[in-house]
Structure 1
Amino acid sequence: MALYPAVDAIGPVGVITETHPDKAMRDAGREADKRFSAWAVSVGFRDDIYQVIKAYAETSPPLGGEDAKLLEDTMRDYKRNGMHLSQEKRDELKRLKTELSDTGIEFDRNINEADMYLEFTAEELAGAPADFLSDKSLQTDGGKYRINVNVSWQRVAVLENVASSDVRFKVARARFQRAVEANMPLIRKMLERRARIAKILGYDSWADYRTETRMAKNAATAIEFQEQLTKGLEPKFRTELSRLHELKAQETDDPDAEIDYWDVYYYENQLKKSEYNIDTEQLKVFFEIDRTLDGMFRIFEELFGIKITRIEPQYKWIDDLRLYAVSDANSSAPLGLLYMDLYPREGKYNHFAHFGITSGKRLDDGRMQRPVSALICNFPPATADKPSLLSLDDVETLFHEFGHAMHNILSMANYASFFGTSVPRDFVEAPSQMLEFWVRDKSVLDRFAADYRNPDEKIPADVLASLDEARLATAAIFERGQLAYSLIDTRLHSLGKPGQCPKLTKYINGIAADVYLSYPEDSSMIASFGHFTGYDAGYYGYAWSRAISEDMASVFRDSPGGFMDETIGRRLRDEIYAPGSSRDVEYSIQSFLGRERSMKPFFDSIGIRDQR
């Protein structure tokens, strides 16, 4: 309990560090985060506190529910911190963990500040959407276009549409060249520190240490899951690549042309246009940002029995910051607050993420402290000619991150360590991935997706059917791309001695080539891989969670009410979002499903029908 005020104080610092427009504030935030992290590490090694809790645990107190779990988890974590070891080893662990924390903060800062700009002529960008080429914010005084490869909507617009393979290659390579010089030494340093910590604590590897408290329980299970999935996807993956190869051969008049990493987005987009009559750029008119946000809020108000109200924030770090109050629809009891920072700017965190600002928990006087969350996004801003319009992928990302916010805000756990998204890393994505399925359902989309120029015009049913077919046509390519990331992460952290791997870039690119496609030469994706800190030895959790979310989504899909079935929506809130990790998440999943978990819905979703 004594740690709660400190944890709540550092929450806003994380958002300031990643989003504040003033670099001096961002730097101050990183310094505060560094000091807090060092203090937090030292608290974990306080022998006086450990001895008191240990003595209490040895009395076998008659605890139940969350209280019993909290004591059990606390004693487990003390052991994982090495408090049962000699003072000499504890001192070494404390030093290593402090160094690891400091290095991780520096690693993240280098990524955020490593803006990578490329300039191209209009001729080089042939094929790019007209709206993209008319965007004055991208145009230079010299008549060229300045592309920031850190900004997803700019990068993807080029990779999906520009006909020049050379331009696409340059953009893909630049993305993986960010912070290489600064971060490659830090990566090796972190790998060495992590491996040493694991060895002192008696684990074979950092991956074994990290997975012990997750659903997988050990690195071998995590690797087996990834390798079996890789193997199961192989036939469909090769078939899908073959189809893209046919398109490239036709376009280039070269029957021997190979599909490269920087070709995938482009030829997937060509496939959508040629075989499914889908133009993803044209679909953006249906997703004006304000209408999309309002529609999303109304959908989950209905499903979860909540009310979402926009209010004026007392403090703004940017002028267009949004703040929403979430309350229970029946009792009007407050549930939490949600900030939204929607658009990119220099120095800002350049992906999409949910940040916890204030933790939820029950206070000593019995009252609940409700959580505060923030969604940090980088959607295309409005221009002089049109409002902010989202791609379908953007909308799925929005629903996904909103799922994290709902997981946090709807939690009813008593302790912060069990609250909301404080669940095993290989489960945390499932409650957010769940909400992506609402974006694929016509009855749901018809509630808000409409042409901003003519709100009576909805997305035709045949277009949505074609979108689903197109997604299925390249589903294995997507999954194998994700598996390349996850296997790189898990295998790097399974090395008992990172010195066994003197050439990290070669090792990483070799895994990518085996599982997916070769990354651009002279680049190293790991240098700008933000998941290397926080998600270390945990990226496999995206696929693990996706299998769970597909299974849970099948409950809605198979119900008479479909994805707007309020009874199942309340069950999702009560059995998945509300408990957090106050109980075993496996129990929560089965309580929602009404049965044991199954892999069948996941394999069905990617077009593999003969696996369970």
Structure 2
Amino acid sequence: MTASEALNLPAGNPFGQLWETPFGLPPFAAIRPEHIHEAYPAALDKHRAEIEAIKADKAAPDFANTIEALERSARGMSRLGGVFYNLAGADTNDALQAIEREISPVMSRHWSAIMMDEGLFARVDAVFRQRESLRLDAEQMRLLERTHRGFVRAGAELGAEDKARLAAINERLAGLGTSFGQNLLKDEASYALVLENEADLAGLPPFVVAAMARAAADRGQDGKHAVTLSRSIIEPFLTFSTRRDLREESFLAWSKRGENGGETDNRAIVAEMVKLRAEKAKLLGFPTFAHFKLDDSMAKTPANVRELLELVWKPAKARAAQEAADLAALAQAEGENGPIRPSDWRHYSEKVRQKTYALDEAVLKPYLQLDRVIAAAFDTAGKLFGLAFAEKPELAGYHPDVRIWEVTEAASGRHIGLFLGDYFARPSKRSGAWMSAYRGQRNLDGEVRPVIVNVCNFAKPAEGKPALLSIDDARTLFHEFGHALHGLLSDVKYGSLAGTSVSRDFVELPSQLYEHWFLTKEVMQRFCLHAETGEPIPEALIEKIKKAQTFNQGFATVEYTSSALVDLAFHSLEATAEVDPLAFEAAELARIGMPAEITMRHRTPHFSHVFSGDGYSAGYYSYLWSEVMDADAFNAFIEAGDVFAPELAQKLRRYIYSAGDTRDPAEAYTLFRGRLPTPDALLEKRGLAA
């Protein structure tokens, strides 16, 4: 913790103080929304003063007085933002949402002014032009190149009129993205299908009934059961309920989030965002927004992305057609005539899975206790990377559900960071699962270790009962913990290159790769213990899980890839295009031949990856791009004959998990694997190989 993080604020505001808390953990109990609101003007003023000091330096621009000076700036604002934006996503309220709406356009204006400042860019550009004579080390050169590229991509080389227009576009996009996310949260939090009697629970196993009872109680409906739009409830309900009418009703609500009319409808927001993004790209010299975004990625061009997506689309669609025929045959045998509907798919596919693989989710779930899966994720990190985890119940999180662990090097006891786990769904939390940082890692001006959080939306169990996960839930936990390790293990000098600050189509490699370890026999037999008997999962059941991994992959790949193709199509439009989002979505799905029995994983009005901010816009493909690498990378351990092979694990830590953005991603992967991957392992993993 450094003095540069404290802001000029009245006594009593935590953001005006150094945090003398254990490990520099934010003092959550002392922070109130009014503190955040009061702190933002002070943070902006301090950052502007830091920038003016860099510009006013009489010395000739060099790496230290310009590039490193920029690295040292905005630390107070970063500390404030680390708290605010994490709370806004994981435990929001009306006051925080009001601040979010107010501050989004303000922050956009602030950053536009800095990144388009002629005097500041002149200094950055001067250092960049003499880079070959500066005797910089590899990380310094990477920082200089990334800093200069960031200014150019933000419009620093534009003329005054274009700068003004780009700043206005960025400001409007910031506000629209905030509105999109808040509208979606309102739709999700306000919906509950309350079930009144036993007949409404037909087909549901006890773990689903218990989760729905807890959800109803949380909404003041004691003694009843509620289907909510949290994936950990809606998906098992759609899987097991034998009430086709209730499946259809709840699926429709899930599918129509963000398009219900009224103040939470996101369709007009999407139309405006797509047009503004296209105009932004044109101002910056790119034919479309997809060209702009992908120019700074591993993929480089929309053509390369489309090539990968279409490589899997054709075999996935063929597999999905066969799967649909199997489901229809089963439904007809049970007396359900007519085609399979999207609301039917999970229900009948579970029956086919049980019939084909004798794998019953209700039988499997008691082996997947949340606490045991967390322990498995920690133990895997210990075996691969030598880490140890000690829970710190004396430390207070931002919500009673949050648990906190200190992470250390097991051999030396050296502090690595803090890890926060926030696992249960609640109305104040946006849907999905993610990793974020309250504080990132850096070694500039002394070592600063990270504070990392994983946020999930698992169904909360009844009091005194263990939380039970599905296989997908358990893989999600490992996935997000892979991201967490990317943040925790970061070991770079400059914070802007640390942890997950890598290209969007590389950032999913550490997370998707980590999923593989959960499904190994070495992990499952040790940690998957039955919630009632304590018996380890039978080896025969593990084999069934492995054999079933390619089951329903036509559906899963079509559901995902259609979303990625629609995202790419939206952002391949030119700036003059007017778009009706749902009509455009329908036309693109018709063009690619979307099966009628399947819907996109994320339909446009609730596609928060793409429209609640800029993170995955023209970038949803990146999960598949990273999967090419993760499938190939795990094969390295299989080929070594040891899923914890020490030499490989050491290289994985050094070149992938610890390196941040200090190298080009292709170079980093090649240093780990010895070569770049091909899609073969991906197609084999998904069961789509010819």
Q: TM-score category by the smaller chain? A: over 0.9
Counterparts of 1:260 and 1:248, CA distance in 2: 11
Counterparts of 1:307 and 1:348, CA distance in 2: 29
SS state of the match for residue 452, structure 1? coil
Matched, 1:471 2:471: no
SS state of the match for residue 687, structure 2? coil
Instruction: Name the counterpart of 1:111.
Output: 184
What does residue range 572-587 of structure 1 map to in structure 2 within 5 Å?
572-587=652-667
Matched, 1:411 2:493: no
Q: Please point out which of 111, 125, 142 is paired with 1:54.
A: 125
Cα–Cα, structure 1 residues 524 and 358, in superposed 2: closer, same or farther, change >3 Å? closer
Counterparts of 1:138 and 1:10, CA distance in 2: 31
Opposite residue 303 of structure 2, the aligned amino acid is A
Farther off after superposition, 217-226 or 238-247? 238-247
SS state of the match for residue 343, structure 2? helix
Instruction: Name the counterpart of 2:562.
Output: 484
What does residue range 478-557 of structure 1 map to in structure 2 within 5 Å?
478-497=556-575, 499-501=577-579, 503-512=580-589, 514-518=592-596, 525-532=603-610, 533=613, 534-557=615-638
User: Cα deviations across residues 470-516 of structure 1 (Å, max 9, x unaligned)?
Assistant: 22122222111100110111111111146353x32122134345454
1:210 positional shift: 0.5
User: Cα deviations across residues 302-323 of structure 1 (Å, max 9, x unaligned)?
Assistant: 2111122212464432123211
Q: Please point out which of 409, 415, 432 is paired with 1:334.
A: 415
Q: Please point out which of 136, 139, 144 is paired with 2:213.
A: 136
Instruction: Name the counterpart of 2:164.
Output: 91
Matched, 1:166 2:245: yes
User: Cα deviations across residues 255-297 of structure 1 (Å, max 9, x unaligned)?
Assistant: xx32222222112211121221111122121122222212321
- The number of residues matched between the two structures is 601
Counterparts of 1:600 and 1:570, CA distance in 2: 25
SS state of the match for residue 344, structure 2? helix
Matched, 1:428 2:507: yes
Counterparts of 1:262 and 1:95, CA distance in 2: 42
Counterparts of 1:391 and 1:550, CA distance in 2: 22
Are the counterparts in 2 of residues 113 and 347 from structure 1 also a CA contact under 8 Å?
A: no
Instruction: Name the counterpart of 1:273.
Output: 354
Instruction: Name the counterpart of 2:55.
Output: none
User: Cα deviations across residues 373-414 of structure 1 (Å, max 9, x unaligned)?
Assistant: 111111121214622111121110000000000011111122
Are the counterparts in 2 of residues 16 and 29 from structure 1 also a CA contact under 8 Å?
A: no
Farther off after superposition, 109-118 or 477-486? 109-118
Matched, 1:307 2:388: yes
Q: Please point out which of 387, 392, 400 is paired with 1:319.
A: 400
Instruction: Name the counterpart of 1:231.
Output: 314
SS state of the match for residue 227, structure 2? strand
Instruction: Name the counterpart of 1:383.
Output: 462
User: Cα deviations across residues 538-592 of structure 1 (Å, max 9, x unaligned)?
Assistant: 000011111110000111122222x232332222111211112110111111111
Farther off after superposition, 563-572 or 206-215? 563-572
Are the counterparts in 2 of residues 17 and 30 from structure 1 also a CA contact under 8 Å?
A: no
Instruction: Name the counterpart of 1:203.
Output: 286
Are the counterparts in 2 of residues 295 and 448 from structure 1 also a CA contact under 8 Å?
A: yes
Instruction: Name the counterpart of 2:344.
Output: 263
Cα–Cα, structure 1 residues 191 and 390, in superposed 2: closer, same or farther, change >3 Å? same
1:44 positional shift: 1.4
Opposite residue 91 of structure 2, the aligned amino acid is H
Opposite residue 604 of structure 2, the aligned amino acid is I
* TM-score, L = length of structure 2: 0.83
Counterparts of 2:221 and 2:118, CA distance in 1: 63
SS state of the match for residue 298, structure 2? coil
Farther off after superposition, 549-558 or 410-419? 410-419
Cα–Cα, structure 1 residues 141 and 83, in superposed 2: closer, same or farther, change >3 Å? closer
Counterparts of 1:506 and 1:129, CA distance in 2: 39
Opposite residue 93 of structure 1, the aligned amino acid is L
Opposite residue 167 of structure 2, the aligned amino acid is K
Cα–Cα, structure 1 residues 173 and 512, in superposed 2: closer, same or farther, change >3 Å? farther
User: Cα deviations across residues 161-205 of structure 1 (Å, max 9, x unaligned)?
Assistant: 112333222222211222323311111111111011011111111
Counterparts of 1:303 and 1:370, CA distance in 2: 20
Opposite residue 606 of structure 2, the aligned amino acid is S
Instruction: Percent identity, please.
Output: 26
Are the counterparts in 2 of residues 353 and 377 from structure 1 also a CA contact under 8 Å?
A: yes
Are the counterparts in 1 of residues 112 and 154 from structure 2 also a CA contact under 8 Å?
A: no
What does residue range 66-85 of structure 1 map to in structure 2 within 5 Å?
66-85=139-158
Counterparts of 2:661 and 2:378, CA distance in 1: 25
SS state of the match for residue 323, structure 1? strand
Opposite residue 145 of structure 1, the aligned amino acid is H
Are the counterparts in 1 of residues 316 and 553 from structure 2 also a CA contact under 8 Å?
A: no
Q: Please point out which of 348, 362, 366 is paired with 2:443.
A: 362
User: Cα deviations across residues 208-229 of structure 1 (Å, max 9, x unaligned)?
Assistant: 1001110110112112221222
Unaligned runs of 5+ in 1: none
Are the counterparts in 2 of residues 350 and 378 from structure 1 also a CA contact under 8 Å?
A: yes
1:207 positional shift: 0.7
Counterparts of 1:312 and 1:36, CA distance in 2: 35
Are the counterparts in 1 of residues 276 and 575 from structure 2 also a CA contact under 8 Å?
A: no
Cα–Cα, structure 1 residues 143 and 58, in superposed 2: closer, same or farther, change >3 Å? closer
Unaligned runs of 5+ in 2: 1-70
Instruction: Name the counterpart of 1:439.
Output: 518
Opposite residue 45 of structure 1, the aligned amino acid is M
Give the superposed CA RMSD. Answer: 2.3
Are the counterparts in 2 of residues 480 and 515 from structure 1 also a CA contact under 8 Å?
A: no
Are the counterparts in 2 of residues 307 and 329 from structure 1 also a CA contact under 8 Å?
A: yes
User: Cα deviations across residues 415-435 of structure 1 (Å, max 9, x unaligned)?
Assistant: 222211111111111110011
Farther off after superposition, 394-403 or 313-322? 313-322
Q: Please point out which of 376, 384, 393 is paired with 2:472.
A: 393
Matched, 1:179 2:255: no
Instruction: Name the counterpart of 2:31.
Output: none
Opposite residue 445 of structure 1, the aligned amino acid is M
Are the counterparts in 1 of residues 404 and 420 from structure 2 also a CA contact under 8 Å?
A: yes
SS state of the match for residue 369, structure 1? coil
Counterparts of 1:370 and 1:235, CA distance in 2: 49
Counterparts of 1:7 and 1:72, CA distance in 2: 22
Cα–Cα, structure 1 residues 64 and 21, in superposed 2: closer, same or farther, change >3 Å? closer
Cα–Cα, structure 1 residues 555 and 287, in superposed 2: closer, same or farther, change >3 Å? same
Counterparts of 1:185 and 1:519, CA distance in 2: 27
Counterparts of 1:489 and 1:323, CA distance in 2: 36
